[in-house]
Chains A and B, each alone.
Chain A
Amino acid sequence: MLTVEHVSKVYRVGTFGGRALVAVHDVSFDVRDGEVVSLIGESGSGKSTIGKMILRLIPATSGRIVFNDVDISTLKGPALKEYYRRVQGVFQDPFSSYNPIFKADRVFRLIRDEFFPTIGPSEWQGRVEDALRAVGLNPGQVLGKFPHQLSGGQLQRFLIARALLLDVEFLVADEIISMLDASTRVDVLNLLADLKSRGLSILFITHDLSLGYYISERAVILYRGCILEMGATERIFGTPLHPYTRMLMASAPRLDKKWEQVEIELRGKHLESAAGCVYYDRCPEAMRDERCRTQRPALVAVDDDHFVACERYAQGQAAKLG
């Protein structure tokens, strides 16, 4: 359905844009029909940048993003509008997604004005109410209200309902849970899972491992713009291979067991090397191998639907093949 092929994003930073900041480096993955893929990373890992490139809010510096066999950077005019009919995003802060001086259901009217000008008011009203019921809201209770009269969870579901009014096939959900309270976040997660079973594909961007595990079939672990590990969710969480993924798993707070004593490097050991592995300066294993410092390891398959970018497994794989 959607394929990201060798996509990079370089921002120009500093006075006069003199320095280059690589936010996303040569990232490739795909999202299949009716599948939820989690994009997991800490702040600065480039996860939101990837979401924005898919939504064409910013252009990719190199590489292509292909949606249903069409390179999305070539879309213009009516074709681009058609793209937005199928691909929509929902973002982290539901409160700032609305204009506070208008009623919240204005977002539905804007969709009609833009995409469905031929549909009559009563038929449109019916569609809006169906979409609201699909996201678990009671139309009578939530229509005609201002954003401040609705809770964060309700506003977030409003935005998902807005996406459903279009013929949406692909949803970019960028940290949509993180601003919600514990008692409502599960409801929004379950809603995404229900939509998935109706055939929607979702790119679920999160920093929270437990949320990613709960909802997704496949997971992509990002660090400083590079994919370090990706594959089936059970494999990533069950047998994490990359030292970074293992550190993440060990430091995620859990309710079933206490933290183990693992060393976490808060300070980088060495200066960042431009050429080597992005995790080199924090990696407890990196000292052993000169290649970690000088070459960036490629993603290699270590198992069925399990890829890792680490020198240790690159060697193991080479030995196995040789």
Chain B
Amino acid sequence: MSLQVDNLTVYYQTLRGDVQALEGATFSIADGEIMGLAGESGCGKSTLANSLIRLVPPMRLVRGQVRLDGEVLPIDDARRMSDYRFSRVSVIPQYAMNALNPTRKVGKMMAELLGSKGVDFAATIPELKRRLDLVELSHDVLKMYPIELSGGMKQRVVMVLSTLLNPSLLIADEITSALDVSTQKAVAEMLVGFRDRGFVKSLIVITHDISILYQIADTILIMYAGQLAEKAPTDVIIRAPRHPYTKLLIASLPEVGVRYAERRLSGIPGRPPLLLDPPAGCRFRERCSVAFEKCLEAPPFVELEPGHFVACWKELGEDVDG
């Protein structure tokens, strides 16, 4: 069990009160698992990722615990977290193309970063060059400034840098969304390659593009308005989802092979609730066609079949009893 998250609840403090961005998240990721994390904007997927790596104000840990390889992560203590950050938990940030220092050559920047972690840069150069070869980058990039690289090249530089210390957990936040389809595919497959070669133990891939997850993820976790909705193996989420939100979300995706004239897709009516003062119970209730009285209580995230977790009263068979 590489990562174990228990009842993690994170709010953003604002003048108008707490924004309840992540509520009671409980899930685990196995060794070698690539977990896709998907949902609409504002559903809390980046909040979840950020709280695993850098939980600083206005974010506030309300309750919950995170264990990595059996060890509790001090996620709300920014200073103690720096022992884990980059070496044990690492991130490829969204807009990685802007993550590099424009005033340093790539190699110099890497040396400074590794130096700050007490790692000898010279000793890592052979491994670094091997990994640059893997992502099809020329060794010359180390002597170049970020402005000399294309967006896809910068993305790959950041990928190599983020995984250089072989972290247990790597979080990739929307890393393919700004790339062209051909580069997108190559970058996504490189992520899988990093896992296969053991550079990273497990991966969280955050994206709003579920078709990318279908290509590379082992499992998919769907979030809605700060709550976990469903987690299951990739094929199950795509072919046999059980949460009403997942069903509507999957059904609304256009794909090559679907024409407007032949099969008209439909969106999900309504909007997600504001998280400043979210409704009690299931937060999807107001857009859900099968909601009933029981949904005024928050549904638990229950494992219905091995590896398939769903948070929905209907799927728990509550309507039969009620």
Confirm or deny: B266 has a beta carbon within 8 angstroms of a beta carbon on chain A.
yes
Residues on B with beta carbons closer than 8 Å to the beta carbon of A42: 180-182
Flag whether B109 is at the interface (Cβ < 8 A).
no
Is A259 within 8 A of B189, CB to CB? yes
Establish whether residues B248 and A183, one from each chain, have CB atoms under 8 Å apart when the complex forms.
yes
Which residues from A are CB-within-8-Å of B1? none
B188 shortest CB reach to chain A, Å: 8
Known A-B contacts A209-B181, A253-B209, A266-B136; the reply to A186 vs B265 at CB < 8 A is yes
Nearest CB of chain B from residue A40's CB, rounded to whole Å: 10
Closest residue of chain B to A188, judged by CB? B267
A181 contacts B41, CB within 8 Å?
yes
Q: How large is the interface on B (under 10, 10 to 19, 20 to 34, 35 or more residues)?
A: 35 or more
Is B124's CB within 8 Å of the partner chain A? no
Q: Evaluate contact between B182 and A264: CB separation under 8 angstroms.
A: yes
Interface residue stretch chosen among B62-70, B250-258, B290-298, B300-308 = B250-258
A258 contacts B by Cβ under 8 Å: yes
- B165 CB contacts on chain A under 8 angstroms: none
Q: Which of B216-255 contact A (CB under 8 A)?
A: 238, 248-250, 252-255
Select from chain B the residue with minimum beta-carbon distance to A248.
B181
Assess the A184–B180 pair: CB atoms within 8 A. no
Residues of A within 8 A of B260 (CB): 189-190, 193, 214-215
Enumerate chain B residues within 8 angstroms of A184, measured Cβ to Cβ: 267-268
A187 at the interface (CB under 8 A from B): yes
A169 to B184, CA, bound (A): 36
What CA separation (Å) do A183 and B214 show in the bound complex?
A: 18
Given contacts A255-B214, A259-B215, A267-B136, contact A213 B180 (CB under 8 A): no
Which residues in B have their C-beta under 8 angstroms from that of A181? 40-41, 208
Chain A, range 172-203, C-beta contacts under 8 Å to B: 181-187, 189-190, 193
Q: How near does chain B come to A198, taking the closest CB pair, in angstroms?
A: 14
A251 to B138, CA, bound (A): 23
**B13: CB under 8 A from chain A?**
no
Q: Which residues of A contact B211 (CB under 8 A)?
A: 210, 253-255
User: Would you call B186 and A182 a contact (CB within 8 A)?
Assistant: no
Whether A264 touches B267, Cβ cut-off 8 Å, given contacts A42-B180, A182-B249, is no
Chain A residues near B212: list those with CB within 8 A.
Answer: 253
Please tell me if A249 contacts chain B, counting CB pairs below 8 Å.
yes
Nearest chain A residue, comparing its CB with the CB of B268? A183
- A 99-138 binary contact with B (CB < 8 Å = 1; else 0): 0000000000000000000000000000000000000000
Contact with B along A147-162 (1 / 0, CB 8 A): 0000100000000000
Is A211 in contact with chain B by the CB < 8 A criterion? yes
**Given the complex of chains A and B, what is the CA–CA distance between A7 and B232 in angstroms?**
51
Among A186, A193, A249, point to the contact of B252 (Cβ < 8 A).
A186
Q: A303 within 8 Å of B by Cβ?
A: no
Measured CA separation A91–B259 after assembly (Å): 23
Interface check A296, CB cutoff 8 A: no
Residues of A within 8 A of B254 (CB): 185-186, 189, 210-211, 213-214
B residues apposed to A, CB below 8 Å? 40-41, 136, 138, 151-152, 180-186, 188-189, 208-212, 214-215, 238, 248-250, 252-260, 264-268, 271
Residues of A within 8 A of B (CB): 42-43, 151, 181-187, 189-190, 193, 207, 209-211, 213-215, 233, 237, 247-249, 251-256, 258-259, 264, 266-267
